[in-house]
């Protein structure tokens, strides 16, 4: 369960270190994927961080699925399974199809990167709502369910803001993408924190 928090820390480390080492990088206008795009400065180094993140998240979600099959309803089981699909898609998809040097060119690699992103976004939204409603159905986890529902709504709203910012040519894709990603990572961190430090201390926890 603690690996969720560890994974989030490695994810933020790859963003922070990438921005520090790339002086020309603008987090407001440039998406996060550009940090590990083909030809990007320090991409090989940053991919080590994202690999560790992916492994941590896979093991964390696997633990959630195991917990769900022991103690939880179908809603939570379904939510965690879809979350696992998202993690596997993200880990394998972005690894196989990083952005090419010219991300404006709609070649096969960039098209696949976009398809992976669409799958990741929709599976994340679906998983978030299923997890939220699953927790809300259980008396002992209603507060966690309320938090999860807020996160699910924010992920959805911020997810919609990405294509809007691109269509309106506002040049703030990096900012709107960070709203989505940071919300997801916060959600994961809180879930990991809950199961690591709080759930085990609650004798009534089911």
Domain ranges of the chain: 3-201
CB 89 within 8 A of CB 119: yes
Q: What is the pLDDT of residues 114-169, one digit of tens each?
A: 999 999 999 999 999 999 999 999 888 999 999 999 999 999 999 888 877 766 66
CA dihedral 119, 129, 160, 115 (to 10 degrees): 0
Whole-model pTM: value is 0.90
How sure is the predictor about 204, in pLDDT bands with cuts at 50, 70 and 90? very low
pLDDT, mean over the chain:
91
The average pLDDT across 50-71 equals: 95
């Amino acid at each position: 369960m603690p690996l969720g928090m560890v994974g989030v820390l490695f994810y933020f480390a790859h963003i922070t270190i990438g921005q520090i080492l790339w002086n020309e990088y603008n987090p407001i206008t440039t998406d996060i994927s550009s940090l590990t795009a083909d030809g990007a400065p320090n991409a090989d180094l940053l991919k080590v961080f994202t690999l560790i993140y992916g492994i941590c998240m896979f093991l964390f979600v696997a633990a959630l699925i195991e917990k769900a099959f022991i103690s939880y309803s179908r809603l939570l089981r379904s939510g965690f399974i879809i979350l696992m699909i998202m993690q596997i898609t993200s880990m394998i998809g972005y690894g196989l199809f990083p952005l090419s040097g010219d991300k404006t060119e709609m070649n096969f690699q960039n098209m696949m990167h976009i398809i992976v992103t669409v799958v990741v976004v929709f599976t994340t939204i679906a998983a978030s709502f299923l997890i939220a409603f699953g927790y809300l159905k259980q008396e002992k986890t209603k507060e966690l369910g309320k938090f999860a529902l807020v996160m699910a709504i924010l992920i959805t709203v911020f997810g919609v803001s990405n294509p809007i910012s691109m269509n309106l040519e506002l040049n703030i894709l990096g900012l709107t993408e960070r709203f989505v990603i940071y919300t997801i990572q916060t959600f994961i961190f809180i879930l990991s924190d809950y199961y690591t430090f709080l759930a085990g201390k609650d004798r009534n926890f089911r």
